[in-house]
Chains A and B, each alone.
Chain A
Amino acid sequence: MFDVNKIRNDFPTISANNIYFDSVASSLTPMSVVNSMNEYYTKYRANVNRGFYDFSMKASEKFEESVASIANLINSKITEIVITSNATHSINEVALSLDFEPGDEVVLSTLEHSSNMVPWARLEKKIGIGTRWYNPGELGLFNIDEFEKLLTKKTKLVSLTYVSNAVGTLVPVKQVSELCKSRGILFLVDAAQAVPHMKIDVQDIGCDFLAFSGHKMLGPTGVGVLYVKEELAESLMPAFLGGGTINTSGCSCSLTDECNIDQCNFNDLPHKWQAGTPPIAEAIGLKAAIDYLNAIGFDDIGIHGEALMKHMMNGLNSIPHVDIFGPNEPELRKSIVSFNIGDLPPTEVGRILDEKYNIAARAGDHCAVGYFKSSRTIEAPGNVRVSLYIYNTEEEVNRFLNAIEDISRVCIGR
């Protein structure tokens, strides 16, 4: 197991006075990531894959190393990795790149983050696709047989989160993938809350697309990843085209106003999908984050998260008036616990945690409005959410539990 106190020294915003329990929103960033980005900006600042001079060659090499590192992380080919700005961008790119027809259906779940809801709502309005929603209920646990009933001949795509950002439960993506394959349905996995905490293998999952964000896994903001299975990356026309995507020297038209896209060849993968200048420093920073996580090891990351989760849930379950959302079994979640204290407004609980106890926790609907609106038993407009990561300690969890006990006692009473 890793030494969490040693880890904490690597994170400049961590202090003994403040507790950061909002890594689901955005994780903290170790100095190695910051240093790698500074090194790019101060030592070899240039664009990538565009120049033949020393700085550009070095920047290109570092960028390609990042892409390779990402591919290795999720067991994909380099040709299947697109650098985006975040998971939201990645999901939107899939939505806009697929050739939907009116009447095509996309199947989602009520656990989805709005980033995996709104792009499809847009296509409902623009193209006339339909959406069908699987509701796993208040516990957030999937029943694969019930889910299968939503798939029809019109289903073109299933798009699901791997780990719910509202309750932390896991979706059986491998089983969903098998269902989709047997029916010729494409499958997109929103892995934003999964990649930071567990080893992901896109071959094992069998998905066609996978999206995640760098800033939730110790990386910088402004970088994300879209995995596109190679045959799809070859056959689809990307939504975003521009510099670097087309082989301009290979265009068969001689005059600009005679050109259309069919007369040009796309560049080799993955460049076909990488329009314009990518977030270079951020991609280099993401590699540093991946290196940091790999050095700890995802097995140990999982063990640490599970131990803290168990301690957190046991503690919360013993405090009067605390109502935990989702399953009570810690092993059915990934590092996220959300709860309310009686009918106290969650925003007030979040405010008290911050102002009196210096604990950063998220309060509200966490952009998972479908979960709160769809459950018949949930009347709360949201809840308080805490998330645990590699730099959190048992002592922090104890301080948090004491704070919740105080809040329950003072604000609700006996």
Chain B
Amino acid sequence: MKKVFLVENNCCGSGFNVLLAPLQKRLMNEAKVEVINLARTGDQVIIPKEIREKIASNGISFLPAIFVDGNLVSEKRIPNLMEAIELVQHN
């Protein structure tokens, strides 16, 4: 199963939340999809190593972004649902 992280720094808008449920449903046999919202994480959150490293080297300007199995496949925008599905399936 692929590991997909939808990463954003979003205090207030819907952000990736609008895609989460349909992506999880569509990709239920192919990928595990989670949202990491840096603006709304509590004190304890596990941010995968590759995402931590990207933030450490680039800051957060590349967000919102999608990682598939540790690889950055989309950055600086929230793709539409169709694009997001195809990004996961083709990476």
Chain B 48-91 interface residues, beta-carbon cutoff 8 Å to A: 80-83, 85-86
CB distance from B86 to the nearest CB of A (A): 7
Chain A 376-414 interface residues, beta-carbon cutoff 8 Å to B: 406-407, 410-413
CB distance from B58 to the nearest CB of A (A): 26
- Which residue of chain B lies nearest to A347 when distances are taken between CB atoms in the complex? B18
Digitize A243-282: 1 where CB-to-B-CB distance is under 8 Å, 0 elsewhere.
0000000000000000000000000000000000000000
Chain A 266-306 interface residues, beta-carbon cutoff 8 Å to B: none
Which of A153-161, A205-213, A349-357 touches B?
A349-357
**B22:A345 contact, CB within 8 angstroms:** yes
CB distance from A309 to the nearest CB of B (A): 26
- Which residue of chain B lies nearest to A357 when distances are taken between CB atoms in the complex? B82
Residues of chain A within 8 A of B80, CB atoms compared = 348, 351-352, 355-356
- Which residue of chain A lies nearest to B79 when distances are taken between CB atoms in the complex? A355
Residues of chain A within 8 A of B19, CB atoms compared = 348
Main secondary structure of the interface of A (DSSP, over half): helix
- Which residue of chain B lies nearest to A412 when distances are taken between CB atoms in the complex? B26
Residues of chain A within 8 A of B81, CB atoms compared = 344-345, 348, 351-352, 411
Residues of chain A within 8 A of B83, CB atoms compared = 355-356
Residues of chain B within 8 A of A355, CB atoms compared = 80, 83
Digitize B1-43: 1 where CB-to-A-CB distance is under 8 Å, 0 elsewhere.
0000000000000000011001001100000000000000000
**A410:B86 contact, CB within 8 angstroms:** yes
Max chain A C-beta neighbours (<10 A), residue from B25, B26, B81: B81
Residues of chain A within 8 A of B25, CB atoms compared = 343
Chain A 333-352 interface residues, beta-carbon cutoff 8 Å to B: 343-345, 347-348, 351-352
A227 to B9, CA, bound (A): 52
**B18:A411 contact, CB within 8 angstroms:** no
**B82:A356 contact, CB within 8 angstroms:** yes
Q: Which residue of A351, A356, A410 contacts B85 across the interface (Cβ within 8 Å)?
A: A410
Number of A-B contacts (CB under 8 A): 35
CB distance from A151 to the nearest CB of B (A): 43
Residues of chain B within 8 A of A412, CB atoms compared = 26
**B18:A352 contact, CB within 8 angstroms:** no
A407 to B80, CA, bound (A): 11
Known: A352-B80, A352-B81, A411-B81. A344 touches B86 (CB 8 A): no
A407 to B86, CA, bound (A): 11
Digitize A179-215: 1 where CB-to-B-CB distance is under 8 Å, 0 elsewhere.
0000000000000000000000000000000000000
A355 to B83, CA, bound (A): 10
Max chain A C-beta neighbours (<10 A), residue from B18, B22, B80: B80
Residues of chain B within 8 A of A410, CB atoms compared = 82, 85-86
**B22:A348 contact, CB within 8 angstroms:** yes
**A407:B18 contact, CB within 8 angstroms:** no
Residues of chain A within 8 A of B85, CB atoms compared = 410-411
**A348:B26 contact, CB within 8 angstroms:** no
Digitize A95-125: 1 where CB-to-B-CB distance is under 8 Å, 0 elsewhere.
0000000000000000000000000000000
CB distance from A384 to the nearest CB of B (A): 13
CB distance from A295 to the nearest CB of B (A): 41
| Sample of 10 A–B contacts (CB below 8 Å) | A347-B18, A348-B19, A348-B81, A351-B81, A355-B83, A356-B80, A407-B82, A410-B86, A411-B85, A412-B26
- Which 10 A/B pairs are nearest by Cβ-Cβ distance? A348-B81, A351-B80, A352-B82, A352-B80, A410-B82, A345-B18, A411-B81, A355-B80, A344-B22, A410-B85
Known A-B contacts: A345-B22, A411-B85. Give 11 more (CB < 8 A): A343-B22, A343-B25, A345-B81, A348-B18, A348-B19, A348-B22, A352-B81, A356-B80, A407-B82, A411-B26, A413-B26
